[in-house]
Amino acid sequence: MAAASVASPVPHLPTSASTSITPASNTSTSTSTSTSSATSDMAAATSKSSWIALGCEGSANKLGIGLIRHTTTSTTILSNLRHTFISPPGTGFLPKDTALHHRTEFVALARRAIAEAGITPADVDCICFTQGPGMGAPLTSVAIGARTLALLWDKPLVGVNHCVGHIEMGRDVTGADNPVVLYVSGGNSQVIAYAEKRYRIFGETLDIAVGNCLDRFARVLNISNDPAPGYNIEQLAKKGTKLLDLPYVVKGMDCSFSGILASAEALAAQLLQLGPEGAGFTTEDLCFSLQETIFAMLVEITERAMAHVGSSEVLIVGGVGCNERLQDMIASMAKERGGSVFAMDERFCIDNGIMIAHAGLLAYRTGFRTSLEESVCTQRFRTDDVYVEWRD
Amino acid sequence: MCREFSSRNIIIPLLNPKISSPAENGTQSSPQMADCLVTCASIVFFVLHIGLFLRLTAAPVAGGRRSPTNGTGNPSLSTPLQRVISVILSGIVPKTKFLSSALPPKSPTMAATASEAVVHEFPLPAILTNPASTPPTLITQGAEGRLYKTTYLLPSIPCALKYRPPKPWRHPILDQRLTRHRILSEARILSKCRRDGLRVPDVYALDESAGWLMLEWVQGTPVRVNINQRLGNRTEGIEDDEELKDLMRRIGAAVGKMHSIGIIHGDLTTSNMMLNPPAGQTETDNVSGLEGEIVIIDLGLASGGVHDEDRAVDLYVLERAFGSTHPRAECVFGEVLDAYKKSFKQAGVALKKLEEVRMRGRKRSMLG
């Protein structure tokens, strides 16, 4: 997942917590293209052919800031930086600590993003930020940062739905035209398809998100949160062989993970108490069984949505979408249906600022603005609340 | 079609010993047909009774006495049935073929679809590779598996074969567990619906280890298609479309009936309901495109349940699927719930619960 994670303890964070900066790769590829930013923003609005947006993301434990350039035909990533708040094993990230992390890192990360993109604040057309869904305190911290930049540089604000950010970035990076989207992360699990100007949710979790299920399971077994609990479960699962019986809960195109988590936690407790010999299975087996069961459920609801809307393309987005086992399972299913899967690596799957900049800029170009008064965040922001003006 | 032959009389005892149903939809076969039927029925009866005997001695399936969670099933269970089916297909079908040549062609649409055997890119389930079986047509690749159209016993009795192929991406143990469970549970639930008077496809035969379930062929189109055709490009006047609203009421009544007999569908969408045009009417005669009886299909995720909570969630699944599939027709969805309310005594409580289900959890919207 995180290809290069540099541990850099921040003094005023909880003592054992560490953070990691993930410099996203393909940066500064087109910094030489010096656009004529001298022209007035308003006057040239109609004849404009190049736009730059800055995106701020912080709905969970990742703070991401990215800059993107759109021309009428292409998109270029100018910079894409991420700083992750990692809590010690056995704990999750709490809103308060995460918000503190975001507040602490915001200015430095924004400066670096601008520097790496090789532009000046004057070149930026709009400031995009995550308006929801996510954890309240971290969202608010980042929104304050975004508002500050907007006022400082006198730029319009664009509030972005986090899920729509994932989808639009996925479509752009993979070139998928009209796929069924499986959006799986620590906070969301949805199967989405586009219809009549909205991303419609066909199926989703009825309780906790799939990533949340994995994260909380990792806590019981004290699996490390660095770089991500899901990544470490994936590595353990590769060595597992025995399939344990876990509940399999699919209701139509929806599914539920809380019962599986409870079962897995009970088995984990048994394992901790009796040891692998006494319990008859290992940590690896348990990780393997959990992955096999929940991913089978995800593949099933995705397949149902594909059959329902008559599509054969799937796009996987969200942090859990990095999991190669899940990607393989979906790919195998899509292949059998005569279709294909579009998946991405950690740069775009895991929360990042660039996706917010991208989706925000798409909306900005259709004339969408978020006034300062409206720039409030919400923990619950449905994917289908967004009117998708920029698609046919 | 096949229902006019009332093949149900012959076949149902195989799967559901409790039913010895007389023809429910008045039999209107010609004397000529009746003769053929008597001839082949006697053969079929003989074979099926052996099959029934073997089956009952092996383990009762349709009686529902085995718990659905009993995953490690009896492998010998499928064998007698499989044998019966292959005997039927290899032994009787050639004879009935001869007999059926005397039958008048039943319907022009039927004949047309039967001859359109598509080239399969998927491997066929073993049951359809039998040389005596009618060339199957792949109807759809559904979410769970594939639906083939073929024939049962007589070349003139069309049937649907639901085949759940092994899913290579799933762990084999999990795959087998799910496939077995779903086929058996679907067959049990279909026979229960039938017994309690809900219009669903009949169960003809099954083999849960090989992963297939053979069902009555239901004429018509999925309700989704009818609604979409009806809507066309219209954006106005949808909420005043009486015929569409009438269809909504029929949907509500069908769902209500299903809930009243203690069945929860688990995947209610407009794709999982067929609109069966009135008898003697082909699909093109259906002027409004919305006439006919609602036949609920695909009960692969269904379960028994009389809790208002389950009913409410079932309705909620339908409501949301409807909204995603037919966004413009959302304004008439209220008719479904109105008709549902009138369909059985407990419906009001379930609808009350539906409001709760809508309001809770992550599905609610809390903008601002």
Instruction: Give the CATH number for residue A168.
Output: 3.30.420.40
- Angle, alpha carbons A88-A90-A93 (nearest 5°): 60
CA gap A148, A390 in Å, rounded: 27
Per-residue pLDDT, averaged over B138-159, amounts to 86
**Cross-chain residue pair B169–A299, CB shorter than 8 Å:** yes
Q: Which among B77, B57, B70, B62 is positioned nearest to B19, based on CA atoms?
A: B62
**Given phi > 0 = left and psi -120 to 50 = alpha, else beta, which region is A138?**
alpha
C-alpha triplet A250, A254, A256: angle, nearest 5°: 60
Per-residue pLDDT, B6: 37
Burial class (CB in 10 A: 0-12, 13-18, 19+), B229: exposed
Residue B277 per-residue DSSP state: P
Residues A63 and A161 in one domain: yes
Q: Please answer whether residues B182 and B167 qualify as being in contact, where contact means their C-beta atoms are separated by less than 8 angstroms.
A: no
pLDDT of B279 > 50? The answer is yes
For testing contact with chain A, the best of B163, B169, B173 (most A CBs within 10 A): B169
pLDDT of residue A81: 96
Structural domain contains residue A34: no
Q: Are residues A131 and A233 in the same domain?
A: no
CB contact under 8 A, A202 and B321: yes
Separation between Cα atoms, residue B21 and residue A222, nearest integer Å: 61
Interface membership of B324 toward A (CB under 8 Å)? yes
CA nearest B317 in A: which residue? A252
Determine the pLDDT at residue A231.
Answer: 95
Closest residue in chain A to residue B178, using alpha carbons only: A248
Contacts of A210 in chain B (CB under 8 A): none
Measured between beta carbons, the chain B residues lying within 8 angstroms of A292 are 170-171, 174
pLDDT at B99: 33
| pLDDT confidence of residue A60 | 93
Could you tell me if B170 lies within 8 Å of chain A, comparing CB atoms?
A: yes
Catalytic positions of B, written as ranges = 267
Helix (H, G, I), strand (E, B) or coil at A202: strand
User: Which pLDDT does position B284 carry in this prediction?
Assistant: 58
Same domain flag for A314 and A192: yes
* Within-domain flag for A136: yes
Instruction: Look up residue A2 and give its amino acid.
Output: A
| Residues of chain A contacting residue B170, judged by C-beta atoms under 8 Å apart | 292, 296, 299, 329
Kindly give, in sequence order, each residue whose CB lies less than 8 Å from that of residue B107, ignoring residues fewer than 6 positions away.
B1, B282
CA distance A226 to chain B (A): 28
Same domain, A103 and A229: no
**Is residue B169 within 8 angstroms of chain A, CB to CB?**
yes
Query: Could you tell me if residue A144 is left (phi over 0), alpha (psi between -120 and 50 degrees) or otherwise beta?
Result: alpha
The percent of residues above 70 in pLDDT, for chain B, comes to 62
Q: Nearest chain A Cα to B224, which residue? A: A308
Q: Which domain holds residue A111?
A: 6-28+45-172+350-385
Closest to B324 (Cβ–Cβ): which among A202, A207, A330?
A202
Q: By CA distance, what is B171's nearest residue in A? A: A292
CA distance A131 to B261: 46
Q: Where are the alpha helices (DSSP H) in chain B?
A: 8-15, 31-58, 78-87, 93-100, 108-115, 172-195, 223-231, 242-260, 308-325, 333-343, 347-359
Note whether B121 contacts A: Cβ–Cβ < 8 A: yes
Strand residues in A133-281 grouped as ranges (E): 157-161, 180-184, 189-195, 198-204, 250-251, 254-255
Helix residue spans in B78-147 (DSSP H)? 78-87, 93-100, 108-115
Give the position of tokens 């659905």.
B68
Q: Sketch out chain B's domains with CATH numbers.
A: 2-216 (no CATH), 221-363 (1.10.510.10)
Is there a contact between B266 and A252 if contact means CB atoms under 8 Å apart? yes
Domain shared by A184 and A326, yes or no? yes
Q: For A305, which residue in chain B has the nearest alpha carbon?
A: B143
pLDDT in tens, B111-132: 333 334 444 467 888 888 887 7
* Residue type for position A245: D
The pLDDT value recorded for residue B145 is 82
Structure tokens belonging to residue A199: 């991303």
Confidence of residue B286 (pLDDT cuts 50, 70, 90): low
Q: In this predicted structure, what is the pLDDT of residue B234?
A: 87
Instruction: Give pLDDT, residue B121.
Output: 64
Query: Does some domain include residue A225?
Result: yes
Q: How confident is the model at residue A151 (pLDDT cuts 50, 70, 90)?
A: very high
Quick: pLDDT tens for A236-272: 999 999 999 999 998 778 899 999 999 999 999 999 9
* pLDDT computed for residue B321 by the predictor: 86
Q: Is A308 annotated as a binding residue?
A: no
* C-alpha separations of B267 from A203, B113, B144, B203 in Å: 11, 28, 12, 19
In the predicted model, is pLDDT for residue B36 greater than 70? no
What's the total number of domains in chain A?
A: 2
Cα–chain-centroid distance for residue A311?
A: 23
Contacts of A333 in chain B (CB under 8 A): 167, 169
Q: Residue B78 pLDDT > 90, yes or no? A: no
Residue A227 pLDDT exceeds 60? yes
Residue A199 labeled ligand binder: no
Of B121, B142, B313, which has the smallest distance from its Cβ to A307's Cβ? B142
Task: Say if A33 falls within a structural domain.
Answer: no
pLDDT tens per residue, range A267-306: 999 999 999 999 999 999 999 999 999 999 999 999 988 8
Kindly state the tokens that stand for B293: 């009886």
Whether residue A140 is found in the same domain as residue A109: yes
Q: pLDDT tens digits, residue range B149-194?
A: 999 988 889 999 999 999 999 999 999 999 999 899 999 999 999 9
**Bridge partners of residue A255, in order along the sequence:** A205, A250
Measured between alpha carbons, how far is A311 from A327 in angstroms, rounded to an integer? 18
Banded pLDDT at B300 (limits 50, 70, 90): confident
CA distance A260 to A247: 6
A234 touches chain B (CB under 8 A): no
Question: Which pLDDT band holds residue A48 (cuts at 50, 70, 90)?
Answer: confident
**pLDDT higher than threshold 50 for residue B239:** yes
Query: What pLDDT shows up at residue A254?
Result: 86
Pair of tokens at residue B193 = 């619906």
Residue A44, min C-alpha distance to chain B (Å):
34
Reduce the DSSP state of residue A391 to 3 states and report it: coil
- A356 plus A302 within the same structural domain: no
Task: Say what the pLDDT of residue B73 is.
Answer: 35
A334-379 pLDDT, tens digit per residue, is 998 889 999 988 889 999 999 999 999 999 999 999 999 999 999 8
- Read off the DSSP letter of residue A50: E
Write the burial class of residue B65 (CB in 10 Å: 0-12 exposed, 13-18 middle, 19+ buried): exposed
Residue A134 shares a structural domain with residue A218: no
Q: What is the pLDDT of residues A199-219, one digit of tens each?
A: 999 888 989 999 999 999 999
How far is residue A251's CA from residue A301's CA, in Å, rounded to a whole number? 9
- The answer to whether residue A334 sits within a structural domain is yes
| Cα–Cα distances in angstroms (integers) from residue B222 to residues B174, B280, B319, in the given order | 31, 19, 17
Q: What is the mean pLDDT of residues B199-222?
A: 93
Kindly state the average pLDDT of the residues B268-283.
82
- Residues from chain A that touch B368, judged by Cβ atoms under 8 A, are 376, 378
Report, as an integer, the average pLDDT of A58-62: 94
- Using 50, 70 and 90 to split pLDDT, how confident is the model at B30? very low
Cβ atoms of B246 and B290 closer than 8 Å: yes
B144 with B302: CB under 8 angstroms?
A: no
pLDDT band at B287 (very low <50, low <70, confident <90, very high): low
| Together in a domain, A185 and A275 | yes
Cβ within 8 Å, pair A200-B173: no
Indicate whether A381 belongs to any domain. yes
Contact A304, A260 (CB under 8 A): no
DSSP secondary structure code for residue B236 in this structure? S
Cross-chain Cβ contact B170/A296 below 8 Å: yes
Please provide the size of chain A in residues.
392
* CB proximity list for B213: less than 8 A, separation 6 or greater: B161, B162, B183, B186, B187, B203, B205, B206
Q: How far apart are CA B191 and CA B200, in angstroms?
A: 9
pLDDT at A29: 35
Residues of chain A with C-beta less than 8 angstroms from the C-beta of B320: 201
The token pair that represents A265 in the structure block: 């936690």
Structure confidence at residue B290 (pLDDT): 86
> How far is B61 from B14, CA to CA, in rounded Å?
10
pLDDT at B140: 81
Tell me if A135 is assigned to some domain. yes
Report which of residues A18 and A176 the model is more confident about: A176
Is residue A321, in this structure, part of any structural domain at all? yes
Q: Is A230 annotated among the ligand-binding residues?
A: yes
Alpha-carbon distance of A383 to B313, in angstroms, equals: 21
CA pair distance A376, A146, nearest whole angstrom: 11
Write down the residue that tokens 């008559």 correspond to.
Answer: A310
Spacing of C-alpha B134 from chain mean position: 20
DSSP element (H, E) containing B5: none
ipTM here:
0.80
**Residue A25 pLDDT more than 50?**
no
Which residue of A lies nearest to B298 if distances are taken between CA atoms?
A: A252
Distance of CA B39 to the CA centre of its chain: 28
Read off the pLDDT of each residue in B214-231 and give the average, rounded to a whole number: 92
Q: Are residues A125 and A23 in the same domain?
A: yes
Per-residue pLDDT at A245: 94
Q: Is the separation of the CB atoms in A24 and A32 below 8 Å?
A: no
Say yes or no for a CB contact (<8 Å) between B168 and A205: no
Test the B interface: residue of A251, A286, A289, A297 with most B CBs within 10 Å? A251
- Residue carrying structure tokens 């991500």: A228
Whether residue B299 contacts residue B200, with contact meaning beta carbons closer than 8 Å, is answered with yes
- DSSP characters over A269-297: HHHHHHHHHHHSS-HHHHHHHHHHHHHHH
Q: How many other β-carbons are positioned within 10 Å of the β-carbon of residue A203?
A: 28
B317 touches chain A (CB under 8 A): yes
A117-142 per-position pLDDT tens digit: 999 999 999 999 999 899 999 999 99
**Domain check: are A161 and A259 in the same one?**
no
| Pair A155, A196 in one domain | no
Tell me phi and psi for residue B361, to 5 degrees: 65, -160
pLDDT at B132: 75
